[in-house]
Structure 1
């Protein structure tokens, strides 16, 4: 006879999701929002990878152009995959909207503080405006790209899971991230390029293609970690 605490395991083909009311979801959500806010701030700094210059027609091929957000932002898609796979589309959508609200709150705070007169001995107002001034445009770009990209990512992943259940996890993660990053990166670059000093079609194409490839490469490199985190969360969540 089975013990009272035992529960029948779901069939292999059953599509399952955990409840988002757990403490694990709260931790993932906090990390997700932190990544969004920090990435929007550091994205104000353009970064060139390589020296010299090489163009192919109107396209600047070298050096490669990214922004500071590339350091951390790809992990938002890793966490987005974790949330969508373990908790489902509604929980992923909630994470996206909360991250959006946090980013907007940060921008409003920066703008208000920028307009408040500094102390008589404060000599860094110009530096403050130079660093945080473009953040508003960057956050607009981030919000448009991030909301569209993350929701696309979550939708593709959960639709694929509806067909494959617990099978083909790596295929779901790679496919959903590729589509989501394509949407996100294009929209972000189209809006944010001028805020960080990137002009012209060639510079934009470099910025977009390099950003897209870099983010997808990070996703693939950390795929074993993503799969491990998902497996442990599924095992730890009693509602899964």
Structure 2
């Protein structure tokens, strides 16, 4: 008869890297990169709208429906595994974005076979300008690192209490920075994006992303508590170098 094994007791850790190996870290990283790539590939450049009770319309970027999930996963990474390991995931996501942009450019640039009439549609969907690509990368990099840094610092300040305040507070900073950088850098001065629409989308992106974080807080609690128990660790980044460019040794 197979004997069940209880998860290890949760041990506090100072955030320094070393020989620790985790069971689920790679899976969380894969989920983060998947959500990041799909949300940027499918929804980043399409503005949509909802009709308000008074009959007016409110515009928002379609990618906002799924992109905030990457921030929630980022919160889980920082809270469970610490800033240093979240930093590795952020750089992995950044590298994936770079490759995605190169692949999209290469495939769109290839000549279409004779008789195939989908090139125009293909270019419209996948042929983002380098301005949009660069804006996406800069916004992701700044927003994710800000999110992880604020959450890690707040965990130390609060001595691990009030997880909801840390996740929402870090999202307010990180998602706000992401939206403030991406949309003006990508679409300012482009036909179809008048300034009033652009700033409305920036504001709505920030509000919707933060609301998503707040709404999914119970789910975030469940995942974080489950992972801490299964991994047997709770990281406080008291011994961490918070530079985005610091070298990780494990």
Band of TM-score, shorter chain? 0.7 to 0.9
* Count of residue pairs the alignment pairs up: 226
Distance (whole Å) between structure 2 residues aligned to residue 15 and residue 6 of structure 1: 17
Secondary structure of the structure 1 residue equivalent to 2:114: coil
- Deviations along 1:143-190, whole A, 9 cap, x unmatched? 111111111111111111112233111111111111111111100111
Once the two structures are TM-superposed, the CA of residue 16 in structure 1 deviates from its matched residue by: 5.5
- Deviations along 1:95-154, whole A, 9 cap, x unmatched? 111111111111111111111112223210011111111264333222111111111111
Distance (whole Å) between structure 2 residues aligned to residue 195 and residue 47 of structure 1: 19
Once the two structures are TM-superposed, the CA of residue 21 in structure 1 deviates from its matched residue by: 3.8
Distance (whole Å) between structure 1 residues aligned to residue 57 and residue 171 of structure 2: 26
**Greater helix content:** 1
CA contact (8 A) 1:15 1:165 kept: no
* TM-score normalised according to structure 1 size: 0.84
- Which residue pairs with 1:44 in the alignment? 45
CA contact (8 A) 2:7 2:229 kept: no
Q: 1:147 aligns with which of 126, 141, 149?
A: 141
Matches within 5 A, 1:68-217: 68-134=62-128, 136-194=130-188, 198-217=192-211
CA contact (8 A) 1:46 1:67 kept: yes
* TM-score normalised according to structure 2 size: 0.81
Change in 2 beyond 3 A, CA 1:224/1:230: same
- Unpaired runs of 5+ in structure 2? 1-5, 235-250
- Unpaired runs of 5+ in structure 1? 55-61
Distance (whole Å) between structure 2 residues aligned to residue 106 and residue 49 of structure 1: 30
What CA RMSD, in Å, does the superposition of the two structures yield over aligned residues?
2.8
1:234 aligns with 2:235: no
Secondary structure of the structure 1 residue equivalent to 2:182: helix
Distance (whole Å) between structure 1 residues aligned to residue 9 and residue 215 of structure 2: 36
CA contact (8 A) 2:143 2:175 kept: yes
Once the two structures are TM-superposed, the CA of residue 53 in structure 1 deviates from its matched residue by: 10
Distance (whole Å) between structure 1 residues aligned to residue 28 and residue 215 of structure 2: 20
Distance (whole Å) between structure 2 residues aligned to residue 162 and residue 74 of structure 1: 24
Segment drifting more, 116-125 vs 217-226: 116-125
Change in 2 beyond 3 A, CA 1:220/1:198: farther
- Which residue pairs with 1:58 in the alignment? none
CA contact (8 A) 1:35 1:72 kept: yes
CA contact (8 A) 1:15 1:166 kept: no
